[in-house]
Structure 1
Amino acid sequence: MGVRREAFTVGDVEPQVIPLIWGWFLVMVDEDDKADCVSYRHSDVGIGRDGHLEAAASHNSTPITGQKKSFPIIQDDSFGLENLIDLEIDGFPSRSKTRNGRYQRSTSDWGYVGDLVEDDDKIGLYSYKVQSTITSRLANTMIQAKMVNNAKRAQHIVFDVQVPKGAFIDNFTMDVNGITFTSKIREKSEARKMYSQAKAKGKAAGIVRSNTLDMENFKTEVNVPPGMRIQFELHYHEMIRRKLSSYEHLISVKPGRLAKHMEVDVRIVEPQGLRYVHVPNSLGDQFNGITTISKGEKKAHISFKPTMAQQRKCPKCSTTAVDGNFVVQYDVNRENMGGELEIFNGYFIHFFAPENLDPLPKNILFVIDVSGSMWGLKMKQTIEAMKAILSELRAADQFSLIDFNHNVRCWRDNLVSATPAQVEDAKKYIQTIHPNGGTNINEALLRATFILNEAQNLGMLDPNSVSMIVLVSDGDPTVGELKLTTIQKNVKQSIKDEFSLFCLGIGFDVDYDFLQRIATDNRGMAQRIFGNQETSAQMKNFYNQVSTPLLKKIQFNYPQESVSDITQSSFHNYFGGSEIVVAGKVDKDNLQHLESIVTATAANAELVMETLRDVEELDGFMRKDKYADPDFTRKLWAYLTVNQMLAER
């Protein structure tokens, strides 16, 4: 997992290092109760994506109990993020109130804190609470931990949570010894300027490390005086993507200790209506029967509240068995082939996921890394997955295989039909592969694009078919072209926006950021999988997401005089089990209905799908539901817009 590390010292020494967002390094120093910071991205500090800043001087000033301090959180704001999302937060939801000009300690509402189970370090976890509300695929999540240092000495207390990669952190706050620390968003260039000024004045700096994967670790260490209580609270939001016909909301629940009070509370509000809600037993068999699910037509409530006894690894153990991911899966009802329009507060969201369509034929080239680093379990699992994937090819599909190390070899120099005989021969070929040598990614991808381009030029491809390359690799190039930007440029020029590139990065040695860039650049996506016993299942799961193209050349159209600032509205492919989401602003004051027209190419026809919605249809439902996020349309629009901008830069 990725690691974000921040260090604080409170009580007698001032806070020094504050959290970050999206892999930006953020270092803060204190100056007259004002936070200064710096941000660095992974690429700014070398191949290891691990940087540090040395302390220039120490601090001796002491904050006054009852103060409220602010610190910045950095996001990549090259495109004016603050104009897209107003993320400036000013403290706890229930912030400290003044009495006679001084702030009360917000930890006073804890009540009785006895009966805590403590490790040898005498640190007790009073409560660990997760609250998440999903409104039309937008999940707002809060993770809160209340801890006590019952030792006779000051010591570090750690708040360590995993946040989904791509989630937007809205706010992080701490309350310790009566001091409430709040967060504010800072743009990157401003942060660098503030840091330079602080460094010139001899202020202290610290260390932040980030190494992002599919999940990111947000880790904060605070030096807490004896007998003191501390409360951490992290807020983030994310858009839940549909995969394999299901939305999956994943919450990391790793308290690290037995909690006197533990709760995971998830609420779902979906105006389209809920088809089903399922909570797999992902935390282990000992928690069977503890989770409760209440499902209505458009709402659901999931609650997980294990007692301290139920949390224990064994009846007399002082360690917790709660250590994993709490998963909620669901899907919504779909009645309109043209998708669902949800309009609220001046924004619209268009969810598009048609079903019951015949698959389009596909032309697919598998490009497999067989360099020496793939030796052993990784290769064994890859062979197992490829044999299963080949068995799932349809009769109308065409395919071939390329394996590469320092050399590039083709099972067939051209695409062949996925007949039983050809599929069986391809399986036998894969079985004979023996990993060795270096990694020539550039030559392998160019060979694959050449085969597809030649087939297209010779008229060998069905006009309604979908062409794609699937790259499987576990490392950076070591032979041939080594410069990643050059490889990216070469592949882009060769593909010419004619087909898609999907990348699977195995293990921790591969440059996953590069795979993401090159895939996004060529109408595809990337996924990291881990080189272990689960590699085969992960590869097959990824393939299943792209194995069933249902539509191509999808175009969303809206009345130009009534909508503005529309997110991406043209898409190369739509795969079965997924969902396309388009958002924009709507002139609600001068419009009674919003109409959308979606055009697309299906297996046997050119489709035109229309949807019409009253712009006030959702108003009543949203305003009377106390759990629904009234700002969900704006947040979803901003989320899509920012991610689109980041992908295009």
Structure 2
Amino acid sequence: MTDVSLRTRCVSRPPRFRRPPGRNPAHPCVPSAGTDPAFARRAKEDPEMKNDRSRTARRIACVILFLVSLSLLPPRVAADPPPPDAPPAAEPVDPSVAGSGALLWKSARGLVPLPVVDMQVDLSVTGLMVRGNLVQTFHNPTSQVIEAIYVFPLPEAAAVDSMEVRLGDRLIRAVLREKEEAKAIYERAKQEGRKAGLVAQHRPNLFTTSVANINPGETIVVALRYLGEVSYEDGEFGLVFPLTFTPRYTPARSDGSVPQQGIGESFVKPENPQAPRARIDVRIDSGVALENVRSASHPIRWEPEGAAWRVRLEGGPVVADRDFVLRWRLRRDDRPEGTVFVEDREDGRYGLMMLLPPLPESAAGQGLPTETLFVIDVSGSMDGPSIAQAREALLQAIGRLRPGDTFDILKFNDRNESFRERFLPARGSELDEARAWVASLRASGGTEISPALVRGMRMLADADPWPAQRLVLITDGAVDNEDEVLAQVTRLLGKARLHIIGIGSAPNRYLVRRLAGVGRGACEFIGNVAEAGRRMGSFLERIDRPVMSDLSLAWEEASSAATSPIETYPQRLPDLYAGEPLFVSFRMGPSGGAARASLTGQVAGGPIRIDLGVAPDTARGSGVATRWARAKVEDLMDGLRRGADEPTVRREVIGVAQRFDLVTRYTSLVAVEEFPSARGAATTRRVTGALPDGSTLLEGTLPQTGTSGPLLTRLGLFLLLAGAFVASLRRLGLRWRRNAA
């Protein structure tokens, strides 16, 4: 009776129950080793109980150590692609980080890559215009019907105006529609089993092509045509064609979250056999002989071909792992002060004007004392050769500071840090310390460029008044929030100048050039350490020379019968540095005849004026009208950052795009075949693109262009599990000592 009563009390635990001596506080029905002498003696003497405690401790330790080891494993990176008959295994990727010319399947899991077969780039230069023809050939090696997404970068000034899709023996030509309408047409055709293509602008210099219902074994040829323009700098012409791009970093959202990065399985190293390859052919019709034709990016060979010049890659196709850069000079001593090309259409006469202001000899080399803030990108995308190029560029810039100048340095990744938090005089000890600080810079973390620029602009605004303030940014521009960055610079820069150094084999040239434009500064690109000294020297000399500012362009038409004013773009003319041209697109009425343009501005020596005439017999140039349309669209889109009404901008952009068949933020090209031809449902197959040359993003430690969040998460998990491990051992140790007492 007593035993039954005691067991009942142990289970019910009434409030005033007093535990009998020798019972365990946690389990009152179990004897406590600390108070039960018999149990304690057994715990000391019984080897089986000792073995049980030892095995339990080992099991707990093994489980915790296993979890700790899992927390320290690096993220899974891209491996070599599986053989053609392997089952699909690719992870979805984001179009903005999809890689060079990547053909992506649109599967239920997202966009999944597919192999690239061939890429052909044909560029034709006539005067100042570049007509580009990009042909990429893909093959469906599977036994499934697919829908594919084709992602490709183009030059930042490119205007895409034509697309054709060849599927077997069928040729599908695209038509322009508003983006939503084009998407609806494409989706309807896809559901009906008809082949269809859709070209849309994903970013200002990144486009996507969707191709629906590709049958097994079919070869897909996507041909896109675009219009671009040459650059001109210090007597040298040039062009760039991007073959890949650096994966873009997505900054934290306003709620503090960071969107998932899509780099993981969309890239391979350039030496991988699956990396895309390209053939490049350039024809330059300059009208005069060329000299000093060279490429800092690829070995080339060039030769005359009739009245033109032909440039080809030396050795055939190359891996698409860097921008193709070509420069040349005309064989003549004089430099053009102005050149005009026109193109006539039914709706008017369109023109392109290049004005090159002369630099007075007396002003060369003179400059005011400057207050310079250098801002250098040390994020993960800069790891490898890029950070070495950035350090060398910054050291070159520091070495060119003059007595009387002041400076400071700001480095940034997902955080930013100043060298001294104040502007220092450019003299011996300060310069030596700055050089040592720069030499110690290493790359890691995310590319939070916006907070760094905001801090830098505020540092300049809070500093004492100075004759000339400038911010020099050194970066690869690998971010996808370009509009936000440009809007902040437009709002906060004030009277300071913003100059940009683009770093790496595939920088974001659109962002670099647009930042320099809104910052009334200049830009330069450095693709390898060997050319850093020469290009930085030329760049620093250029920005040290007097700038031509307060530019305005006035027109005077010879005929009083003109029915409409001359419309020019850009409407807000940028400041010019010596050796830099001003490109102006203009449109006259259908009856437009002779006209004269007068460019006025200020240089260090006083006011300057350049006159240039447009005559009825002015040289014709193909693509001039399309160039005007693209310039107008760009000017309208810039208005959004200045507070323009978005519906009004949209309506005007669509109107221009429809007249010239331009792909814009609001318009797309869509092509649909007449009859259904699909033979089944789609499945997935992976693709790979080539990382930019020198990138370490696939190497073991995986330096990321994202934030250090994943690393901190793993570190936090490690510390949490390690703490649990230590606590478990401590509890086991204390229990063993109590039992042994």
Q: Normalising by the residue count of structure 1, what TM-score does the alignment of the two structures yield?
A: 0.57
- Quick check: 1:636 aligned with 2:621? no
1:442–1:161 CA distance, 2 compared to 1 (3 A): closer
Tell me how far 1:351 sits from its aligned partner: 0.3
- Quick check: 1:300 aligned with 2:311? no
8 Å Cα contact 1:147/1:229 also seen in 2? yes
Counterpart of 2:556 in 1: which secondary structure? coil
Deviations 1:185-236 (A, max 9, x none): 222132245467679999999999998797879797995677x887653322
Counterpart of 2:635 in 1: which secondary structure? helix
What's 2:637 paired with? 646
Deviations 1:136-170 (A, max 9, x none): 22111234578999x99999999997643442233
Tell me how far 1:582 sits from its aligned partner: 0.6
Tell me how far 1:567 sits from its aligned partner: 0.5
What's 2:543 paired with? 547
What's 1:583 paired with? 585
Tell me how far 1:302 sits from its aligned partner: 0.9
Counterpart of 1:571 in 2: which secondary structure? coil
- Quick check: 1:140 aligned with 2:131? yes
8 Å Cα contact 1:277/1:328 also seen in 2? no
Instruction: State the distance in 1 between where 2:293 and 2:544 align.
Output: 24
Instruction: State the distance in 1 between where 2:512 and 2:535 align.
Output: 15
What's 1:278 paired with? 293
Instruction: State the distance in 2 between where 1:145 and 1:435 align.
Output: 35
Q: Which amino acid aligns with 1:278?
A: V
What's 2:395 paired with? 387
8 Å Cα contact 2:144/2:216 also seen in 1? yes
> Larger strand proportion, structure 1 or 2?
1
Aligned partner (choices 316, 331, 352) of residue 349 of structure 1: 352
1:503–1:190 CA distance, 2 compared to 1 (3 A): farther
Aligned 1:290-369 pairs, distance under 5 A: 291-294=302-305, 300-302=308-310, 304=312, 311=316, 328-331=326-329, 339-345=338-344, 346-357=349-360, 358=364, 360-361=367-368, 363-369=371-377
Counterpart of 2:612 in 1: which secondary structure? strand
Q: CA RMSD in A?
A: 5.8
Counterpart of 1:430 in 2: which secondary structure? helix
What's 1:499 paired with? 496
Tell me how far 1:278 sits from its aligned partner: 1.3
Q: Which runs of 5+ in 2 are unaligned?
A: 1-92, 110-114, 245-271, 641-741
Tell me how far 1:330 sits from its aligned partner: 2.6
Aligned partner (choices 175, 179, 189) of residue 180 of structure 2: 189
Tell me how far 1:634 sits from its aligned partner: 1.1
What's 1:168 paired with? 159
Counterpart of 2:376 in 1: which secondary structure? strand
8 Å Cα contact 2:240/2:325 also seen in 1? yes
8 Å Cα contact 2:237/2:329 also seen in 1? yes
Counterpart of 1:164 in 2: which secondary structure? coil
Aligned 1:53-452 pairs, distance under 5 A: 131-144=122-135, 163-194=154-185, 223=214, 233-243=223-233, 245-250=235-240, 266-270=282-286, 276=291, 278-280=293-295, 283-284=298-299, 291-294=302-305, 300-302=308-310, 304=312, 311=316, 328-331=326-329, 339-345=338-344, 346-357=349-360, 358=364, 360-361=367-368, 363-369=371-377, 379-393=387-401, 398-403=406-411, 406=415, 408-411=417-420, 413-414=422-423, 416=425, 418=426, 423-431=431-439, 444-452=452-460
Counterpart of 1:139 in 2: which secondary structure? strand
Instruction: State the distance in 2 between where 1:548 and 1:437 align.
Output: 33
Instruction: State the distance in 2 between where 1:326 and 1:200 align.
Output: 39
8 Å Cα contact 2:131/2:225 also seen in 1? yes
Instruction: State the distance in 2 between where 1:633 and 1:207 align.
Output: 26
Instruction: State the distance in 1 between where 2:438 and 2:406 align.
Output: 17
1:267–1:222 CA distance, 2 compared to 1 (3 A): farther
Q: Which runs of 5+ in 1 are unaligned?
A: 1-24, 26-39, 57-120, 312-319, 478-482, 623-629
What's 1:85 paired with? none
Deviations 1:432-460 (A, max 9, x none): 557789887566434433443355x73x3
8 Å Cα contact 1:239/1:639 also seen in 2? no
1:164–1:439 CA distance, 2 compared to 1 (3 A): closer
Instruction: State the distance in 1 between where 2:208 and 2:173 align.
Output: 20
Counterpart of 1:249 in 2: which secondary structure? strand
8 Å Cα contact 2:182/2:198 also seen in 1? no
Tell me how far 1:543 sits from its aligned partner: 5.1
Counterpart of 2:569 in 1: which secondary structure? coil
1:559–1:244 CA distance, 2 compared to 1 (3 A): same
Tell me how far 1:247 sits from its aligned partner: 2.2
8 Å Cα contact 2:501/2:526 also seen in 1? yes
- Quick check: 1:599 aligned with 2:595? no
Tell me how far 1:238 sits from its aligned partner: 1.1
Instruction: State the distance in 1 between where 2:382 and 2:530 align.
Output: 15
Counterpart of 2:570 in 1: which secondary structure? coil
What's 1:108 paired with? none
Instruction: State the distance in 2 between where 1:570 and 1:207 align.
Output: 34
Instruction: State the distance in 2 between where 1:160 and 1:448 align.
Output: 35
Counterpart of 1:547 in 2: which secondary structure? helix
What's 1:81 paired with? none
What's 2:616 paired with? 615
Q: Which amino acid aligns with 2:303?
A: T
Corresponding pairs, count:
490
Tell me how far 1:392 sits from its aligned partner: 3.3
What's 2:8 paired with? none
Counterpart of 1:566 in 2: which secondary structure? strand
Instruction: State the distance in 1 between where 2:553 and 2:592 align.
Output: 21
Instruction: State the distance in 2 between where 1:471 and 1:340 align.
Output: 32
1:603–1:218 CA distance, 2 compared to 1 (3 A): farther
1:191–1:506 CA distance, 2 compared to 1 (3 A): same
1:447–1:253 CA distance, 2 compared to 1 (3 A): closer
Counterpart of 1:233 in 2: which secondary structure? strand
Q: Which amino acid aligns with 1:133?
A: S
Deviations 1:438-483 (A, max 9, x none): 887566434433443355x73x30xxx5x42123457999xxxxx9
Tell me how far 1:366 sits from its aligned partner: 0.6
Percent identity of paired positions between Structure 1 and Structure 2: 18
Q: Which has the higher contact order (CA 8 A, sep 6+)?
A: 2
Instruction: State the distance in 2 between where 1:50 and 1:605 align.
Output: 55
Instruction: State the distance in 2 between where 1:248 and 1:283 align.
Output: 14
8 Å Cα contact 2:156/2:509 also seen in 1? no
Tell me how far 1:178 sits from its aligned partner: 3.0
1:235–1:537 CA distance, 2 compared to 1 (3 A): farther
Counterpart of 1:559 in 2: which secondary structure? strand
1:545–1:270 CA distance, 2 compared to 1 (3 A): farther
Which deviates more, 568-577 or 367-376? 367-376
Which deviates more, 335-344 or 637-646? 335-344
Tell me how far 1:595 sits from its aligned partner: 1.6
Tell me how far 1:631 sits from its aligned partner: 3.2
Aligned 1:566-577 pairs, distance under 5 A: 566-577=568-579
8 Å Cα contact 1:545/1:576 also seen in 2? no
What's 1:469 paired with? 471
